[in-house]
Amino acid sequence: MTYIVVDNCIKCKYTDCVEVCPVDCFYEGENMLVIHPDECIDCGVCEPECPAEAILPDTEPGLEHFLEINTKFADIWPNITAQKRQPADAEKFDGEKDKFKKYFTEAPGEGD
């Protein structure tokens, strides 16, 4: 099992989870984060830290697509190890449906 980031992170991109990760397995895209599944040690400390509840175990049904997204972009996007300020309009997008189809971008973030 590993933890993965799902679509509610898109346009919210809270980084509270990054701050508590003991193995620095988060990677930053322009408008979301992903977890590298081969680096995640399944400790679970990040899951309750996410205000958007966008971190889930990959064992939950229907998350295969997001496991692929996390795997692919963790190899491309820069590593992020410190908390950053969330987007000013993050709360507006928290809980919005179909965010992946509407807003996902393959562009990398800044990382550390």
What are the pLDDT digits (tens) for 29-77? 999 999 999 999 999 999 999 999 999 999 999 999 999 999 999 999 9
Q: Residue 55, SS3?
A: strand
Give the tokens for residue 34: 């992903």
Q: Residue 79, CB half-sphere, CA atoms under 13 Å: how many?
A: 7
Say whether pLDDT at 1 is over 90: no
Are 18 and 33 contacting, i.e. CB atoms less than 8 angstroms apart?
Answer: yes
pLDDT in tens, 74-108: 999 999 999 999 999 999 999 999 999 999 999 99
- Taken in order 89, 94, 97, 101, the sign of the CA dihedral is positive
List, in order, residues 6 or more apart from 98 with CB less than 8 Å away: 7
Mean pLDDT across the chain = 96
